[in-house]
Amino acid sequence: MKKDLLNKIICLLLLSISFWQESHAQDPQFTQYYAAPLYLNPAFAGTTGQHRASVNYRNHWSSMPRAFVTYAFAYDYNLPASSSNVGIIFSTDRAGTANLRSTNVGAIYSYTIPLNDKLRVVPAFQVGYTSQSMDFSKLIFGDQLAFGNPDAPSTDPDVRNLDNNNHFDFGSGLIIYSNKFWTGFALHHINQPNQSALEGESRLPMRITFHGGMKIPLKLGPMKSGIESSINPSFNFRKQGRFDQLDLGFNYYYRMLMLGLWYKGIPLQQDMPRTINHDALAVSFGLSFSNMNFGYSYDMTVSKLGPASSGGSHEISLVMELQASKRPGKVSRKDKYNPCPAFMPNYLWKP
């Protein structure tokens, strides 16, 4: 009986440690990164319409107890009288048996610079504030394991030093786009804030992302009267500390329907001897209703973690774009050229 109790405690401890390390080794990421544009890169603020709001939910490895759950909300607006754009973003994620939670609120400013009649470049800056918390009463320490009683008070001196962590966080980004392609990069955690729950130091590594995509128009049926559709391939490479990953795939748009197929991993890289860096295959499905767009995706793990993550990962997105009021006069260049990564109805992406 005591042996079974000890085994359960050890398993609980290892699971908690794995969640702690995973949460701090890398930021949460979305498979539908095109439906979370401000989370991907602050330079996407104000790049489409007047008002845009996005809501994202991800349940990572859903079959595991206390799995990673991430929520994000963003809103952005392009100022009609200038080339300036503003946005706000809120994200929170929860993981582990000790309810490790990280919540971030950020403000974004970007500026649209025309390079010519069809090409735009947008630099951006983001400042945020992050709060990290944990239920320390659910942690199990070495002396509790030694006595086989996880409910006994711990005498570990680090217990008195445990505390929640709050810090400022800075990021920036840049995109270049026309109405047929886009590319850019983003830097998050430029100041590499200290995220330690103890009195020591544990710096959060900078997250660097490179991403891009394009629209390939298609026409089904006769050239003049055919139905317009498109294939939108894109990629997203990110690196944070020792972690790196490439998302590569495409979305196919047909009227109000979207279907997507994605690969996650770096097939030419080995993360361990004789082990290819494969992570997951993902499929996505979406519908567009007027100015509201819904998306769902499912990740099927193909790495060595497959058996432990048999439930896969589920993700839901909702993007809404609203026109505040009709702007007088001709359509400005700023309104005319919108980048392709936004999860928008295909008919809004006219060349």
Query: pLDDT digit string (tens) for 177-187?
Result: 888 889 999 99
Mean pLDDT over the full length of the chain: 76
CA distance 97 to 104: 21
Residues of the chain with pLDDT under 70: 1-25, 49, 61-67, 96-99, 135-163, 197-199, 220-227, 267-278, 303-311, 324-351
Instruction: Quote the pLDDT of residue 104.
Output: 94
CA distance 238 to 202: 21
Instruction: Quote the pLDDT of residue 2.
Output: 44
Instruction: Quote the pLDDT of residue 18.
Output: 39
Instruction: Quote the pLDDT of residue 260.
Output: 95
Instruction: Quote the pLDDT of residue 9.
Output: 41
Q: How many helices (H) and strands (E) does the chain have?
A: 4, 16
Cross-strand partners of 133: 101
CATH superfamily of 2-348: monomeric porin ompg (2.40.160.40)
Question: Is residue 97 within 8 Å of residue 17, measured between CB atoms?
Answer: no
